[in-house]
Amino acid sequence: MKVAVATDDKVNIANHFGRALGFVIFEIDENKVINQEYRENIGKHQEDCGSCDHDTMINNLSDCQVIISYGMGRRIFADLTKNNIQAVVTDEKTVKDAISKFINNDLRNRLDRLH
């Protein structure tokens, strides 16, 4: 399984999926991280809300089953879901804490944070 975490600095979770500079991608097998990579967020937000290229962003992450972000819009949430990618909106601050809680099935999905 691959899990992408939105980030601007590879340490902290980005405040907004569409504005994130990139994603730390974790490959998980038997509840352990077996590989990790970084991908730039191509198609990202260019200032105005709605300026994201959802298709490009989703294609960039199409091998991921889960996306974790601190916040995201309802449209990208729906588009991810339509493409069989689970979107998790968290109030965790760091990539490390979020992936650890995800692996331990303890990451709360704060869908009330969608906008």
Tokens of 66: 């889960």
> Residue 114: which of 81, 80, 89 has the closest Cα?
89
If one counts the domains in the chain, the total is 1
CATH of the domain at 22: 3.30.420.130
Query: Which residues form the domain of 98?
Result: 2-113
The mean pLDDT of 87-101, rounded to a whole number, is 97
Question: Is 42 a residue whose pLDDT tops 70?
Answer: yes
Q: Is 110 exposed, middle or buried (0-12, 13-18, 19+ CB in 10 A)?
A: middle
pTM of the model: 0.92
pLDDT band at 115 (very low <50, low <70, confident <90, very high): confident
Question: Is 49 a residue whose pLDDT tops 90?
Answer: no
The mean pLDDT of 52-56, rounded to a whole number, is 83
CB 45 within 8 Å of CB 115: no
pLDDT band at 26 (very low <50, low <70, confident <90, very high): very high
Give me the amino acid identity at 7. T
CB 54 within 8 Å of CB 76: yes
